Structure 1
Amino acid sequence: MTAFDWSRMLLADFPLLFLTEVAFRALFAFVVVFVFLKVSGRRGIRQLSLFELVVILTLGSAAGDVSFYGDVPLLPIATVFVTLLLLYRLTVLAMSHSVRFSNWMEGKPVTIIKDGLYELESLNHLNISSDEFFMELRQQGVEHLGQVRLGILETDGDVSLYFYSGGDVRPGLSVLPPDHRAVFGRAPATGLFACTRCGHTQRIEEQQGAVCPRCENRDWSHALIVPRSR
């Protein structure tokens, strides 16, 4: 084999006309995936459940093979499409008749913030990194947890937030990036601090350390009290 053999790299043993077949195969693959999304009734990828995402990935793998492999016939891929669509329909029907099966397939909404505090059991169970979750909150205009009355992680991965009105905002843990949220083991000055793990707030005296009574964490950050900007 010759390195950087452009003839082999570009077409190998295929005739130039094979490129038109590749274009047709790509169109076929596109139509198959598009029709599945239309038939399933979903408008966007953010609405896909875990089960639907698995179906799409499986279909996408089959569609990718048929797009450019000349020895992959079209009818078997069409069979894959019909089988997956039938499986999808039967699963949706079973989910509509069984709450337990539906919860097992798609999961349930999970409360992750309540009264300005993290629900530790939920976060530990979901294994969500704080940086990822903080980013999600910032994108919805949250500066600190005290602004949030209730936060729910939906089954499609979206986070639904319900806010306190301006006068009801509580002191809370900042969700800003590390450059804007210093962390202390000992308070640099007397004031109100928030536990960096669960959001619990308490007053700590200057140069004193504290153990969070809620989660036993020893790291603290300045608690914020600013209302949410509209």
Structure 2
Amino acid sequence: MSPISIAFLLFPGVTQLDLTGPAQVLSRLGEAKVDLVWKSRDPVMTDAGFAIMPTTTFDEIKEADILCIPGGVGVTSVMMDEDAMAWVRGVGSTARWVTSVCTGSLILGAAGLLKGYKATSHWAWHDNLSLFGAEPVKARTVFDRNRVTGGGVTAGIDFAFALMAKIRGEEHAKMIQLALEYDPAPPLDSGSPEKAGEAIVAAYAERMAALAPNRGAEMQDAAAQLGFS
């Protein structure tokens, strides 16, 4: 197998499973090197209340075969961070695969890397993709040329297996699926708005409105400041 390098953006407020789920899968591509990249090597706090250590910094990693951007409550702050966005644009301009999980696709969009591409995101943020010139598609994983985007949080695992099958072949991906015993059998069936029902969706929307009352306006402001119309 040819060596393959994978760079994940690690940022304050990241949803850790957006990152750690696909990182665990992609680490088994074979001859793979996974890096978690931020401004410094200081611990980065996730939205789960614990920190993750970066393995390297923007200055040390200038290119990768796979760029992966996870999502989380910190995405808008990343969009307004010139150093972070310059790194995403730089690595994304030469990466073989430009990818994201959950709302990480909005960071790719803000970097100008999804203009004219089909993409997905977390269902609650999905419509914001069009602010950055992407074509929103409601699917667990979306491939459009070398852009690969995954839906919300746990979809990152499906995304990673789909990308693995594309790079190393289905047999390799099946073997890793077996090794990780990835055989989902959720005890509940409310993992999408369609399945959850109106009452649960409304309760979730109310909770999000309390936690992030201005998220829609902030996303629109970010798009405007970055020159998207």
Smaller-chain TM-score range? under 0.3
Higher helix residue share: 1
Question: Normalised by the size of structure 2, how large is the TM-score?
Answer: 0.22
- Greater RCO, CA 8 A, separation 6+: 2
Question: Normalised by the size of structure 1, how large is the TM-score?
Answer: 0.22
Q: State the structure with more CA Rg.
A: 1
